[in-house]
Structure formats: structure tokens, C-alpha cells
């Protein structure tokens, strides 16, 4: 309290002396300075009064031809212009001030004017010019003993680099500002450089350090009793928590911001708080809550005409409505978002174009003079050039035609190649499909084989062992028959599985199988036999059906010889050329003598003929004493 | 002559009972135990110490092949005979690799079942042409992989080649002028080597060779 009172007393004393000078009616440079200082007092509370005094100072400075005074007016009036949003006008005045001070000002004046100019460029969005002017100011400020300028400039530059997205540069300038503010014990400077430090660190993923700096801002804000610092710090801390999906920690911070914003009636922070609380609710999938907060935030953003925030909020709300399955609402917000986003984008493009145009105009003026000079020289050249041009043109035209022809040919060739590639691709696809079908068939075959083996095999074997029960076996010939049939069926299953198995699909497999089965059968029946088979066989693959039919015909032939003709010697002869030739010969009773079995034998023969027909082979039977059966199958 | 101690592992009760009856009816056989699953067999067999185990391959839970591996690891002297309906199946070959000494077709007539077990007891093993071919390619693949000389003797090779062509033991005997019993013993030794090879390969694999 003491300090406050003494400060206001000081102020009172100052104003008295200033008033005295103004009342004295002096018309010198001191009066200009006093008028400017006096106007400054009104710049916030009564801008019109400020302008009145500034204009008075301006007129006097002009009358005195005191350029520094004019520049001083420029520097003061721009604050008012800025507040009224008249940045273009302010920019022009700042440029004037820089020009005047360059000739007649102190270095400090130049630093201030360059800083003001940079500020205007920043307001106008020309960030490159902003950086240039801040850099100029910093170069000058480095030579001054007053460190205050360096603190302000480095921190200002840090914010520009933040806007430019160059966060590492933002960080290093903010750090510089932070150190200088520390030296100056300038708490507000510390706070504003801390904001830039924390923000840039957030983008550089140095979350821990950013958190540390934002917490420091909270302490500074408490000390200065500045709620805006607290709000800034809280919003940023909470945003880091949101990014880390720790919304439970973020929520109390946003609540505090909302509380402060309501207390000080600051719609900007209210909007930030509501938007943050909406994010917290979104994280927790509490859609109605998120909807409530976002809607409020949208209202404030619209009121503030803060279109950058508004566009983001609309996007958020559209997403929230989608989650609430309110498609109509989502669509309406999405439309608003699209419209605003498009207009923002257009504006940015337009700004960019305007910027380019200004630069273009400037460049054109510079070039105009040079061009005039060139024109004279050009006229002289024109005649000579025209001849050269004609030659070049004719040559160029010819070259162009050749080039076009070549391009056309290349295009045709490409087309042809593409067509061929397409055909190849189609063929490949067909092969793939075929392969898939075959694989599918193979899988199906394997499945059937497995089921035959596992289920049928087990069932038949059970029947076989049941029929061998001793109490029935002694007396019942039928049970013996059951056992024989079951055992026979198991063999049949094995034969079917063998013919279905692709592992055994060669001619050699077939011959081996016939030999093995035949010799086993004859061995069991105690019949002498001879088997003649070529040592080497050609590598030929045979379909399962073919293998099975040929094998069954041979088996039938052997069985006939054994069962009906009572043979005591059987020979099997296999030969291979362009076809497979098999001879089964026995010394049995012959077909004529087996009439008693006529039906069965007849059936067997018909069966054999049918099977050979199926595979495109022939069978001949000669029965003269014994029986000779010849099979021939093309392979 | 001491009798042949036999155990049975077969999950289908009717078949198991049928086999039990056949074995208990023969004076030179001693039925020691029978199991309807591999787990019980694995626990009990090392104590029972039968000469021969007739084991089904497909069992509920652990398979007959698992049963061979585990029991053989503790008691290598116990011989396994796979009880199957198809002599050429992949599973029979796997069982032989795991240490089985032969197989017995389920549909074999009663009297010949006893003959087959007796043959195994006397050191003779059966082998189909399909299995013979797989054994040939298995030895071939391994010897070319490891660079080691083929562990099969020239005679064993001859026997295998003829078997692969579909010749019966008797026919091979005639062709090579040796007895059928000698052929059986060759096969028995080949199975032993197949199992040793299998073990060596497993160790080599484990050491990343």
C-alpha cells in the first residue's frame, strides 16, 4: 500500500510539471515531447483525447522541421491505430519513422521504430518481414546498455518463430529473453518468456520441461496476482495432460480457468476452458457433456469472431454429434465447419496472393527502368535476331514434329506391351483359379480318405473283432463270413485311399502296388507264381481312376484264377512301351470248365470289360486249358 | 522257452478285448496289461516291462506315436508294434521314426497276428513297399544333408531297394540267396538305424547345425 501511494504521488508531481509546460504556451521541441507524453496518458482510457494531443505535437514538430518529433508522433499514434485495427496506416507511419530515425535518430529510437515496424508486419501476417525487422532491431539493441530492449525483442521474435512453426528457434530466443528478464528481475518479462518456452517445448515433445515452465508461470501469476497468466498456464498444463490421455488431471485445471474467466468476465478464457472441458468429456466418451461444453464454446467463439478457434470447435462438435448418432446435427455442424474452413483457407490464399502482388509491383517498378535501358539495345538486335529466330523456329518446328512422331510410336508400343501384360495377367489369374480348384479338390480327397480310414476303418475293424468272439466263432459259419467280409472291406478302403493319394500317382507306383498285392494274395493262398516286371519304368503320371481300374481288373483276374479255375500256378507279366500291357496267365480249369460258376464269372468278366472301357483300354481273354488275360492301356 | 510278454494300447474296447482274447489263447504269450489311452500306458509300461507293446496310433489325447517316444526314452528295450489298418500311411512311418520296430495290420487273420508278434520277438520286422521307399528317401536326404556316409550297409540297401519295388521277403530272399528270416532281421536293423538317424537329426537341429 505504501509503495502504491508514493508512486501515485510521483505521478501527480509529474503531471503538474507537464501541465505547467503545456500552459506556458512554449512552441519548442520540448513541448512536442510533452504533448506526446501527455497524450500517452489518455491512449487507453480516452483514445480520442490522445489523438488530439498527438496531432498537436505532430503539427508543432512539422512547423519546427524537427524530424525526430515527427517520428515520435508516428511511434505514438500507431498504438491508437493498432487498437482501431488500422494496421495498414500504422505500417506506413512506422516505415516513415524508421526512415527519419535512420538519418537523425539515436540507436535507441531506431530499435524502438524497428520493433514497432516488426509489430505491424506481425499484425498484418507478413512474418518474414517481421523476422527481418526484429533481427535488425536486435543487432542494434545488442550494442545498447539497456537490456530491456533485448528482452522484449528476443521474446517477440520467439513468438514469431512460434507462429512460423519453427519451435526450436522459438525456444532458443525465449530462453534468451528468460535469462535477460531474470537478470532484470522483470517478473512480467519472465512470465511472458516462460509462456513461449513452455509452448515451444510442448511442440518439441519436451513435455516434462514444458510442464516445469508452465508451473513456474503459475507461481509468477500468483505473485503478480495476474489471472491471465494463471489461465494461460492452466490451459497449457491441462492440454499436455489431455495429450497424455490423463484427462482426470486435466479437468480440475480447466475448471479453475472457467472459474477465473467467469470471475473476471473474460470470454476468451471461458471459451478455452469450455473447449478443454469438452475434450475431457470426449476422452471419457461422455458425449452429452462434451456436446454441452462445445456448444457453449462455439457460442463464445462466434461472439468473439475468433474464427480459428470456431472452426476447430465446429469440427469437434460435428464429431461429437456423430458419436451421439445425431446424424442430422453432425451434418449441420460439418457443413458449418466446411464453409468456415473454406473461407479461412480462401482468405489465407488471398492474403498470400496480395502479398505476392505487392512484391510483384515493387519488383516491376525496379525493372521498368532497367527495361527502358535495355530496349534501345534490343532494337538494334531485333533485325539480326529475327533472322536467327526464323532459323530456330523452323528447326524447332521440325524437331517438335519428330518428337511428336517418336512419342506417338512410344505410346503405341506401350499400349501393345500393356495389352500383352494384361493378357499374361489374365492367363496367370486363370492358372491361379485352376490351381485353387485343384487344391480344393485335393483337400476334399484327403478329407474323404481320412474319414474312410478313421471312421469306416475303425467301424469295420470293430465288426471284425466282434465277429471273432469265441462263443459264436466255434459254431457259426456266418460270423466267419462277417469277419472275412469286414477284413475284405478294410482292404478295399486301403485300395481306395491308395488310388486317391497323389503321392502314389506314377506308373511305377501302380506296378509296385499290383506286384505287391498279387504276390501277397498268391502267397496266402499257397499258389506258385512268377512275376516279370521291367527293371526300370518310364516316369509317367497316372490319374487315380486309371490306377484303380487297372488294379481292380488285375485283382479280378487273379481272383478268378484262384477261386473258380483252381489254378496251381499263375504268372503275371508286365510290359511297357507306348502303353501298359499286362498278362495274367494260369494253369487252371479254363472258362469252359467253370460253367458251374457261370454267373459269377460272367459278372466278373463284364466288370473287367467295363473297367477297361472306362480307361480307354482293351482286354482279351483266351481260355484254352488255362486262361490268358491280356490288358492294354495307352499311357 | 520263456513266453512273450505283451501289452496292448487300443481305445476301442471291442477290438482291445478281441486282441486280448487272441493273445491269452496262445501258450507262448503272456498278456501283461492293456490300456485304452496313451497316458496310462506311458505311466505304467516302464514298471510292467513287456517285451512287446501292440499300440494303436490314433488314441484320444496323446497319440500312439507320443507313447512310443516317451516310453522308449525311459525303456529302450521295450519294442512297439503299431496296430493299424493301413501299412503305407504317413503315421506308420512317423511311428517307425519315433522308435517302433514294426506294425501289425488290424485286419490280419487271427493266427497270423500271433505269427507277426513272434517274428518281431525274434528280431524280424515287416515293411511295406511304400514304407521302404520312404525309408530310402529319408536316409538319402539325411546323408546328403549332413555329408555323413550312408549308415546303411550295402546289403541293407539292396533289401530296401527290392522292397521298394514291391517284392515280398520270400522273393527278396530268393533273389539275394538269403533266408526270409535274414531279410526280416535286416529290416529290423534298418528300423533301429532309422530311429538313431532320427535322434541324431533332432540333436543336430537343437544345436542349430
| pLDDT tens digits, one per residue of A41-53 | 777 777 777 888 8
What's A455's DSSP letter? I
DSSP A507-564: HHHHHHHHHHHHHHHHHHTT-EEEEE--SS----B--HHHHHHHHHHHHHHHHHHHHT
**Contact assessment for residue A579 and residue A547, using Cβ atoms and an 8 Å cutoff:** no
SS3 B34: strand
Whether B164 and A512 lie within 8 Å, measured CB to CB: yes
What is the predicted pLDDT for the residue at A8? Answer: 39
Chain B's closest residue to A494, CA to CA, is B86
Confidence of residue B207 (pLDDT cuts 50, 70, 90): very low
What is the predicted pLDDT for the residue at A575? Answer: 93
pLDDT tops 50 at residue B134: yes
A465 touches B at CB < 8 Å: yes
What is the predicted pLDDT for the residue at B19? Answer: 93
| pLDDT tens digits, one per residue of A122-179 | 888 788 888 888 888 888 888 888 888 888 888 888 988 888 888 988 999 999 899 9
What is the predicted pLDDT for the residue at A10? Answer: 43
pLDDT tops 70 at residue B149: no
Percentage above 90 pLDDT, chain A: 15
**Contact assessment for residue A167 and residue A203, using Cβ atoms and an 8 Å cutoff:** yes
First vs last C-alpha separation in chain A: 118
B73 touches A at CB < 8 Å: no
* Order of strands, sheet of B102-105, starting from the edge strand that comes earlier in the sequence: B29-35, B4-9, B52-56, B79-84, B102-105
- Those residues of chain A that have pLDDT short of 50 are 1-11, 472-473
What's B87's DSSP letter? T
| pLDDT tens digits, one per residue of A447-474 | 888 888 888 888 889 988 888 876 544 5
What is the predicted pLDDT for the residue at A189? Answer: 86
pLDDT tops 90 at residue B65: yes
pLDDT tops 90 at residue B125: no
Report the candidate in B186, B117, B89 with the shortest Cα–Cα distance to residue A453.
B89
CA distance B11 to chain A (A): 10
A624, β-bridge pairs = A626
Locate A191 and state its grid cell. 512470465
Total Cβ atoms within 10 A of residue A424: 10
What is the predicted pLDDT for the residue at A93? Answer: 82
Please say whether the dihedral angle defined by the alpha carbons of residues A599, A600, A603 and A608, taken in this order, is positive or negative: negative
Residue B35, by phi and psi: left (phi above 0), alpha (psi -120 to 50) or beta? beta
Whether A466 and B110 lie within 8 Å, measured CB to CB: no
Please count the CA atoms within 13 angstroms of the CA of B10 that sit on its side-chain side. 27
Confidence of residue B39 (pLDDT cuts 50, 70, 90): very high
pLDDT tops 80 at residue B103: yes
Report the candidate in A87, A88, A100 with the shortest Cα–Cα distance to residue A61.
A100
B174 touches A at CB < 8 Å: no
CB neighbour list of residue A532: distance below 8 Å, 6 or more residues apart: A571, A572, A573, A574
Residue in the structure block whose three cell numbers are 501541465: A19
| pLDDT tens digits, one per residue of A548-597 | 999 999 999 998 888 888 889 999 999 999 899 999 999 988 776 555 55
Q: What is the C-alpha separation between A58 and B47, in angstroms, rounded?
A: 119
pLDDT tops 50 at residue B208: no
CA distance A485 to chain B (A): 10
B102 touches A at CB < 8 Å: no
Whether A516 and B17 lie within 8 Å, measured CB to CB: no
Chain A's closest residue to B17, CA to CA, is A465
What is the predicted pLDDT for the residue at A273? Answer: 92
Amino acid at each position: 500500500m505504501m509503495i502504491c501511494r508514493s508512486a501515485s504521488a510521483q505521478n501527480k508531481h509529474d503531471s503538474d510539471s507537464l501541465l505547467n509546460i503545456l500552459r506556458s504556451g512554449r512552441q519548442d521541441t520540448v513541448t512536442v515531447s510533452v504533448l506526446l507524453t501527455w497524450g500517452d496518458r489518455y491512449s487507453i482510457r480516452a483514445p480520442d483525447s490522445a489523438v488530439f494531443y498527438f496531432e498537436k505535437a505532430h503539427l508543432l514538430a512539422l512547423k519546427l522541421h524537427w524530424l525526430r518529433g515527427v517520428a515520435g508522433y508516428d511511434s505514438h499514434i500507431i498504438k491508437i491505430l493498432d487498437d482501431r485495427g488500422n494496421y495498414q496506416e500504422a505500417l506506413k507511419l512506422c516505415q516513415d519513422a524508421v526512415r527519419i530515425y535512420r538519418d537523425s535518430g539515436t540507436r535507441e529510437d531506431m530499435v524502438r521504430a524497428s520493433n514497432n515496424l516488426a509489430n505491424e508486419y506481425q499484425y498484418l501476417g507478413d512474418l518474414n518481414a517481421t523476422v527481418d525487422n526484429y533481427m535488425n532491431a536486435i543487432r542494434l539493441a545488442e550494442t545498447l546498455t539497456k537490456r530491456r530492449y533485448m528482452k522484449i525483442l528476443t521474446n517477440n521474435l520467439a513468438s514469431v518463430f512460434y507462429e512460423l512453426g519453427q519451435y526450436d528457434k522459438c525456444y532458443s530466443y525465449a530462453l534468451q529473453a528468460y535469462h535477460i528478464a531474470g537478470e532484470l528481475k522483470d517478473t512480467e518479462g519472465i512470465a511472458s518468456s516462460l509462456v513461449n518456452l513452455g509452448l515451444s517445448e510442448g511442440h518439441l515433445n519436451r513435455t516434462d520441461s514444458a510442464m516445469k515452465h508452465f508451473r513456474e508461470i503459475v507461481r509468477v501469476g500468483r505473485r503478480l496476482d495476474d489471472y491471465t497468466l494463471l489461465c494461460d498456464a492452466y490451459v497449457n498444463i491441462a492440454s499436455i495432460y489431455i495429450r497424455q490421455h490423463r484427462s482426470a488431471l486435466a479437468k480440475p485445471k480447466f475448471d479453475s480457468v472457467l472459474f477465473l474467466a467467469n470471475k473476471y468476465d473474460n470470454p476468451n478464457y471461458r471459451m478455452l476452458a469450455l473447449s478443454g472441458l469438452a475434450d475431457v468429456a470426449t476422452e471419457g466418451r461422455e458425449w452429452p457433456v462434451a456436446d454441452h461444453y462445445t456448444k457453449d464454446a462455439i457460442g463464445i467463439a462466434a461472439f468473439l469472431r475468433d474464427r480459428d478457434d470456431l472452426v476447430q470447435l465446429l469440427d469437434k462438435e460435428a464429431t461429437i454429434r456423430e458419436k451421439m448418432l445425431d446424424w442430422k446435427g453432425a451434418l449441420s455442424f460439418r457443413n458449418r465447419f466446411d464453409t468456415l474452413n473454406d473461407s479461412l483457407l480462401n482468405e489465407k490464399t488471398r492474403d498470400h496472393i496480395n502479398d505476392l502482388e505487392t512484391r510483384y509491383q515493387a519488383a516491376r517498378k525496379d525493372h521498368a527502368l532497367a527495361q527502358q535501358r535495355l530496349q534501345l539495345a534490343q532494337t538494334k538486335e531485333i533485325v539480326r535476331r529475327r533472322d536467327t529466330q526464323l532459323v530456330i523456329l523452323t528447326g524447332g518446328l521440325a524437331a517438335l514434329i519428330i518428337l511428336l512422331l517418336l512419342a506417338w510410336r512410344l505410346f503405341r508400343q506401350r499400349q501393345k506391351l500393356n495389352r500383352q501384360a494384361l493378357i499374361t495377367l489374365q492367363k496367370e489369374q486363370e492358372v491361379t483359379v485352376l490351381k485353387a480348384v485343384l487344391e480344393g479338390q485335393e483337400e476334399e480327397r484327403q478329407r474323404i480318405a481320412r474319414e474312410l480310414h478313421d471312421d469306416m476303418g475303425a467301424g469295420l475293424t470293430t465288426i471284425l473283432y466282434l465277429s471273432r468272439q469265441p462263443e459264436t466263432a466255434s459254431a457259426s459259419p456266418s460270423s466267419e463270413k462277417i469277419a472275412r467280409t469286414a477284413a475284405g472291406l478294410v482292404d478295399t478302403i486301403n485300395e481306395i485311399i491308395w488310388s486317391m493319394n497323389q503321392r502314389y500317382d506314377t506308373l511305377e507306383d501302380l506296378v509296385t502296388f499290383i506286384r505287391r498285392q498279387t504276390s501277397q494274395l498268391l502267397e496266402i493262398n499257397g499258389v506258385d507264381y512268377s512275376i516279370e516286371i521291367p527293371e526300370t519304368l518310364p516316369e509317367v503320371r497316372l490319374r487315380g481312376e486309371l490306377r484303380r481300374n487297372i488294379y481292380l481288373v488285375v485283382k479280378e483276374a487273379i481272383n478268378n484264377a484262384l477261386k473258380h479255375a483252381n489254378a496251381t500256378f499263375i504268372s503275371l507279366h508286365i510290359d511297357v512301351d507306348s502303353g501298359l500291357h499286362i498278362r495274367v496267365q494260369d494253369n487252371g480249369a479254363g472258362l469252359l470248365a467253370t460253367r458251374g460258376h457261370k454267373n459269377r464269372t460272367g459278372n466278373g468278366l463284364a466288370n473287367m470289360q467295363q473297367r477297361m472301357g472306362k480307361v480307354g483300354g482293351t482286354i482279351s481273354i483266351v481260355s484254352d486249358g488255362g486262361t490268358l488275360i491280356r490288358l492294354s492301356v495307352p499311357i | 522257452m520263456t513266453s512273450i510278454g505283451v501289452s496292448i494300447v487300443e481305445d476301442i474296447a471291442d477290438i482291445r478285448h478281441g486282441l486280448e482274447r487272441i493273445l491269452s489263447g496262445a501258450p507262448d504269450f503272456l498278456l501283461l496289461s492293456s490300456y485304452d489311452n496313451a497316458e496310462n500306458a506311458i505311466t505304467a509300461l516302464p514298471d510292467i516291462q513287456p517285451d512287446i507293446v501292440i499300440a494303436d496310433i490314433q488314441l484320444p489325447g496323446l497319440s500312439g506315436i507320443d507313447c512310443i517316444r516317451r516310453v522308449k526314452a525311459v525303456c529302450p528295450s521295450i519294442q512297439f508294434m503299431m496296430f493299424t489298418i493301413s501299412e503305407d500311411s504317413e503315421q506308420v512311418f512317423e511311428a517307425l521314426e519315433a522308435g517302433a520296430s514294426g506294425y501289425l495290420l488290424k485286419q490280419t487273420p487271427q493266427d497270423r497276428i500271433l505269427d507277426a508278434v513272434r517274428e518281431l520277438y525274434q528280431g524280424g520286422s515287416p515293411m511295406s513297399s511304400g514304407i521302404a521307399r520312404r525309408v530310402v528317401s529319408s536316409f538319402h536326404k539325411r546323408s546328403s544333408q549332413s555329408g555323413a556316409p550312408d549308415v546303411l550297409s550295402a546289403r541293407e540297401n539292396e533289401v530296401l531297394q527290392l522292397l521298394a519295388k514291391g517284392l515280398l521277403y520270400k522273393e527278396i530272399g530268393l533273389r539275394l540267396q538269403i533266408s526270409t528270416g535274414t531279410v526280416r532281421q535286416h529290416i529290423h536293423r534298418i528300423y533301429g538305424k532309422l530311429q538313431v538317424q532320427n535322434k541324431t537329426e533332432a540333436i543336430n537341429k537343437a544345436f542349430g547345425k
